Chains A and B, each alone.
Chain A
């Protein structure tokens, strides 16, 4: 531990406060007893799929596609998920299948 106990508590609160300033404002700006503007309602409807797109890319941010193995494990993992999901459309099966294949690839093949 480099910081004192008191300093650590302050750091934890600082991180928590920053985080909560990203989670609470929309709910404070548009309280539930008032109808939000049409544009906000529209965003509330289209943002979820767009943010899922963001999260998928977010997971790939540290993958290098220009050095060996060119993100092969990740790409194959995702391909397996897409195939399983269009075949059975079972959320847990697709997730488990993709993860197992990915683990085999990173542990045994592209070490």
Chain B
């Protein structure tokens, strides 16, 4: 297991950076709305859903509306459905760890696990667990720091959150190297850009997913060959 963590760690360094910064921002934001470190950490530990947690801040400062929170989180997180479909093969035979791996399957963990093969002397099971567990801890750690000391951070971190964008761009480039992936990557990029243009920044993810699904199914013969 130690070996798995050692080999997984370098892959998670960008997530460490990004989650610390975003987690701190989240902890501070919750703090300013009157929700102390206990509440921000509880949300991060149980819901573990980055961007949706930021959306939920506005719900926590309005009238009590749990149904709205539930529906919104379904819609904001709908993209996870496709992560699950992608991980069916890799998450086979995980035994008791499977529940945890699925519970914490976020954008960043999905990107790393789907584009990285474990080293030969490390079991895939331990490797995927290490990545998932580290990413989960980073987010909690960031939230904790934000709730406790966030306002006293001296140096200018503006722009450091770009590290997560950079991670996605690089892993996108990495995925393209694999055989047959180039067209699928372009489909994802083009469908999402089109959907963003048509539906605007607040409502584009689900239409984008539908467009991607249709394009991938329509192009099946071509993509398979």
Q: Residues of A with Cβ closer than 8 Å to B? A: 1-3, 7-27, 30, 32, 36, 39-62, 73-74, 77-78, 81-82, 85-86, 91-92, 94-95, 98-99, 102-103, 105-107
Secondary structure type dominating chain B contacts: helix
Interface string of B157-185 (1 = CB under 8 A from A): 01110111111111111111010111011
Contacts of A23 in B (CB 8 A): 77, 80, 83-84, 102-103, 105
Q: Are A81 and B56 in contact, with the CB atoms below 8 A?
A: no
Q: Are B77 and A56 in contact, with the CB atoms below 8 A?
A: no
Q: Are B223 and A46 in contact, with the CB atoms below 8 A?
A: yes
Q: Are A15 and B53 in contact, with the CB atoms below 8 A?
A: yes
Contacts of B53 in A (CB 8 A): 15
Q: Are B56 and A32 in contact, with the CB atoms below 8 A?
A: no
Please report the C-alpha to C-alpha distance between residue A20 and residue B49 in the assembled complex, in whole angstroms. 10
With A17-B70, A50-B185 known as contacts, the answer to whether A22 contacts B166 (CB < 8 A) is no
Q: Are B39 and A27 in contact, with the CB atoms below 8 A?
A: no
Kindly state whether residue B62 has any CB partner on chain A within 8 Å: yes
Q: List 18 A-B contacts (CB under 8 A).
A: A13-B66, A15-B53, A18-B69, A23-B84, A32-B92, A43-B85, A47-B184, A47-B212, A48-B175, A49-B181, A58-B168, A74-B162, A92-B14, A95-B163, A98-B166, A99-B163, A102-B162, A107-B158
Secondary structure type dominating chain A contacts: helix
Contacting B169 at CB < 8 Å: which of A32, A36, A56? A56
